[in-house]
Amino acid sequence: MPELPEVETTRLGLLPRLPGRTLAAVTVRDPRLRWPVPDVLPARLAGRTLAGIARRGKYLLFDFDGITQIVHLGMSGSLRLAAPDEPPAAHDHVDWRFDDGTCLRLRDPRRFGAVLLTEDPARHPLLAHLGPEPLGPEFDAAYLHARCRGRNTTIKQLIMDASVVVGVGNIYASESLFHAGIRPATAARRLSGPACARLAAAIRKVLAAAIAAGGSSLRDYVASSGEPGYFQLQTRAYGRENLPCRTCGTPIRRIVQGQRASFYCPACQR
């Protein structure tokens, strides 16, 4: 599933091309996504200028003169810039054509993504409950320590909870915990202030590195340029079961938490 780094990589790829352009037309070939694409979407957006593209967690927010289009990539979706004469493929469900001929295309083989409209993104049901951005000023050691107090849930499950902090998906949770020296099954309430400081810093470091690497290539995810992400080539724990730890040489272990695989080094993570 595309997570925060993949979504941010997509946003950064679109910024040089789309803001300031006027939307000429929207073509919806198949509205049957996780929630149906609103019938009014083409009529409401056509002729409007794209003021900017923001991100909230894993959601992209396209500001069309006060109407915000929310795009979620679901399990297998991608947004990319297509050539004006490129014919759509089987899973290319929505096109946005701008006044300069640029075509933005949504591909979603599993149709688990979303394209929705709102005039108040902060109060939209998909966004209102979200926790702070991990790369923003609200997420720090003190905040994380406060959210850990009294919580019996494991620390990996806690940092993957979008109401606590957004965008820390499975790969990035495992990697952050490795860099912080914390085992994924540790109860959140057991983390000290210094441990929370290490973890908050590790989350920021790992996500920034993933964005710089273009995200991770998961299933059908590609960036807006069509290129895959390369973060998985540099992981220290995730996906490395039984391989030697890159730090100490101890074999990496794999456990299952909440039906998701977790990877850790039993020597480096305590």
Active site residues: 2-3, 58, 260
Interaxial angle between packed helices 193-212 and 141-148, expressed in degrees from 0 to 180 and rounded to the nearest 10: 120
Cβ neighbours of 251 (radius 10 Å): 13
Cβ neighbours of 86 (radius 10 Å): 12
Q: Which distant-in-sequence residues (6+ apart) come within 8 Å of 36 by Cβ? A: none
Query: Which contiguous run of DSSP H or E holds residue 44?
Result: helix 41-45
Q: Which two tokens stand for residue 161?
A: 């909870």
Report d(CA 230, CA 222) in Å as an integer: 10
The sheet that has 78-82: what strands, in order across it? 23-28, 92-98, 103-107, 78-82
Report d(CA 7, CA 228) in Å as an integer: 13
Phi/psi at 159 (nearest 5 deg)?
Answer: -75, -10
Q: At 75, is the secondary structure helix, strand, or coil?
A: coil
